[in-house]
Amino acid sequence: MTAKVAWVSSVLMLLAATHSALAQGPSGVQGRVVSRDGASLAEAPVVAEGGGRVRTRTTDANGRFRLELPPGEYRVFTYYGLHHGAVVDPVKVVPGVFTTLRFVLEPIEIDDDEPEAVEVVYRADTSDEAAQLAIRRESAGVRDAISSSEIGKSGDSNVAAAARRVVGVSIDADDQLVVRGLGGRYNRVLLNGVSVPSMDPGSTSVSLSLFPASILDSLAVVKTFTPDLPGDFAGGTLLIDTRAAPEE
C-alpha cells in the first residue's frame, strides 16, 4: 500500500512539474536588426549558439526576429551585406521569457581596414598521359602530344628522338622538325611559349638534339592556327614545355 501511494505521489509531482513548465510558455530571444541610420535590415540572419546546438532565423521586412530557445546561455550574432556584423555574448534565456535584443549594424566604409589578400597559385601537373589527353580534348586546334612519363618509358635521350613519337611528325638528317612533309622554314619551335631562334639566318629550323629529354614536362605539336600561337608556319609548331624548377 505504501509503495502504491509513493508511486501515485511521484506521478502527481511529474504532472505538476509538466503543467508548470507548460504554463510558463516558450522562451527565447526576439528583437530587431537595423542599420546605423535606423533603417530595417530585412532577411538578415540571426544565429544563436549554445547548448551544443545552433539555431537560426532571418528578420522580416521590418527587421524583426523571434527565435524560440530553451533556457540557458547563448551567443547571439547577426550580419548583413556591406555591414559589419554584431554579437551579444552571453545572452541568458530564462523559462517563459523572450529576451529582447537590438542589433545596430555599422556600414562598411571605404577607409576601413581591408583584409590582407592572399594569392594562391596552382600549377597543373601535365607530366602524365591522362593530362595530355585532357589537354588535347579541350584544345581548339589539331594537337598531338606526349608526356614526360611516356618519354621516360621510351628511353629517348633528346627532343629529336622523342618528337618522332608524335603523330604526323618526323625528324630529318639534321635533327630538324618535319611536319606533314614540310620542314625547315615551314615550322616553328617554342620553348615554354617563347620562339627559339635558329642558328641559320635563312631558316627558322632548330636542331632538336640540342635539348635533352630529361628537361621535358611535355612535348606537343599544333598543326592548325590558334590565337595564342605565332602564325608564321605552314607545317606545324612544336611546343617544348620544361619541368618546373623546385621551390624547396
- C-alpha cell recorded at residue 127: 607530366
> Residue 8: pLDDT band by 50, 70, 90 thresholds?
very low
Q: Residue type for 26, please?
A: P
228/146 Cα distance (integer angstroms): 20
All domains of the chain, ordered by start, with CATH? Answer: 25-105 (2.60.40.1120), 129-242 (2.170.130.10)
What is the pLDDT averaged over residues 17-24? 52
pTM of the model: 0.44
CA gap 179, 236 in Å, rounded: 6
- pLDDT tens string 179-202: 888 877 788 888 888 888 877 776
The Cα–Cα gap between 60 and 167 comes to 66
CA 180 to chain centre: 42
CA distance linking residue 245 with residue 21, whole number of Å: 71
Residue 139: DSSP 8-state: -
Check pLDDT > 80 for residue 60. yes
